[in-house]
Each structure stands twice: as structure tokens, then as C-alpha cells.
């Protein structure tokens, strides 16, 4: 019985990775270059001879519809009550020429990074999404607050309410050991 042979990672695909990063999947991109997954994040081409890493805990959504991978990435906009206030960027769509194992690996890594997520209603008609994420290489959880569209994250009353909801969520889902 022979084991299936893995495709060898092209040397070009490993260029620019941190020395201690282990490649878990890779794919050739339609526009040239390679997408590479590691335990820390997804590396994508970002220009001629350049790449950027999207950390798993900042990828809110990844949708694969062959040959396109749509990524919704969050960017930190501040801090509130010990949580990152994040804002989602418009979906970034990349074309993949030969996906190999990249789509299921991206899905697995994004899903595994989410420990808890729930929408909470604020006094206004909208709300805030409270998310606890695992960050590769760090112990514990990183908490995120994503205010719904139309909610002013600078409103002092809504900020106070969001902190109250965040604290209650932390107490309920992360009880202290006795």
C-alpha cells in the first residue's frame, strides 16, 4: 500500500515567511504567486514580489466558490473594556488557479479561531457582536467588539452599555474556577 504523495512546496511559495512558520497548505493564484497557510495566518500576494499575512483571528469570514476565495477581514479601530473594537473591511476576493488543500484549510483555521460569538442588542435598534478568538502563539482569548452598521462606536452611552454586555458575557462563558 502506498501513501498519497504530497506536492512539494515550490521554493518561491516559501519566500518571505517567518523562519519558524510551518506551511499547512498552499495554492497557486490565478494572477501569479502563491497563497500559503500557516498556523499563524494566510499569506497572500500583495504586489510584485510582496506578500501579506492575514492573521486567522482577524479573518471574520471565508467563503470558497471555485475558483474564488472571498475573505472578510476585520481591522482593529481601538480598544474598549479590554476588547478590540473591530470594523470589517469589504470582502476581498482572490482567484485561485489550483486550490489543492487551501480552501478547507482556510475554513478550518478561521472556524477554530472562534471560541465564542454572539450578537447583543444595544438600547438603540442595532447591536454589537461580541467575539472571543484564539490567537496563534498566545495563551487565552482575545475579545472583539464589532458594532453594527449605523451604530456610533464613539457614543458614550453605547460604549458603556457595550462594556456592560462584554463583562456579563465574560462572566457567563468564562466562569472563574473555584
Residue percentage of the chain with pLDDT more than 70: 94
Domains of the chain, each with CATH number or no CATH: 11-173 (2.30.29.30)
CB environment 9-34: b (16+ within 10 A), e (fewer): eeeebeeebeeebeeebbbbbeeebb
Quickly list DSSP for 18-86.
-TT----EEEEETTSSEEEE-SSEEEEEEETTEEEEEEGGGEEEEEEETTEEEEEEEEEEEEETTEEEE
* Predicted confidence (pLDDT) at residue 76 exceeds the cutoff of 80: yes
* Average pLDDT for 76-98: 97
pLDDT tens digits, one per residue of 124-178: 778 999 999 999 999 999 999 999 998 999 999 999 999 999 999 999 988 665 4
pLDDT tens digits, one per residue of 121-137: 998 778 999 999 999 99
Residues 6+ apart with CB under 8 A from 151: 122, 124, 126, 127, 128, 158
- pTM of the predicted structure, to 2 decimals: 0.89
pLDDT tens digits, one per residue of 31-41: 899 999 999 99
Amino acid at each position: 500500500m502506498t501513501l498519497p504523495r504530497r506536492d512539494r512546496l515550490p521554493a518561491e511559495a516559501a519566500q518571505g515567511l517567518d523562519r519558524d512558520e510551518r506551511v499547512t497548505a498552499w495554492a497557486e493564484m490565478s494572477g501569479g504567486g502563491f497563497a500559503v497557510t500557516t498556523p499563524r495566518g494566510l499569506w497572500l500576494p500583495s504586489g510584485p514580489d510582496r506578500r501579506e499575512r492575514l492573521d486567522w483571528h482577524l479573518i471574520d469570514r471565508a467563503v470558497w466558490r471555485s475558483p474564488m476565495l472571498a475573505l472578510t477581514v476585520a481591522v482593529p479601530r481601538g480598544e474598549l473594556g479590554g476588547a478590540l473594537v473591530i470594523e470589517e473591511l469589504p470582502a476581498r476576493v482572490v482567484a485561485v488557479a489550483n486550490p489543492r488543500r487551501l480552501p478547507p484549510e482556510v475554513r478550518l483555521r478561521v472556524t477554530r479561531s472562534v471560541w465564542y460569538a454572539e450578537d447583543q442588542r444595544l438600547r438603540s435598534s442595532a447591536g454589537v457582536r461580541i467575539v472571543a478568538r484564539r490567537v496563534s502563539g498566545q495563551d487565552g482569548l482575545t475579545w472583539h467588539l464589532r458594532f453594527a452598521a449605523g451604530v456610533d462606536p464613539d457614543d458614550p452611552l453605547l460604549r458603556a452599555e457595550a462594556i456592560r454586555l462584554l463583562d456579563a458575557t465574560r462572566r457567563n462563558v468564562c466562569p472563574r474556577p473555584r
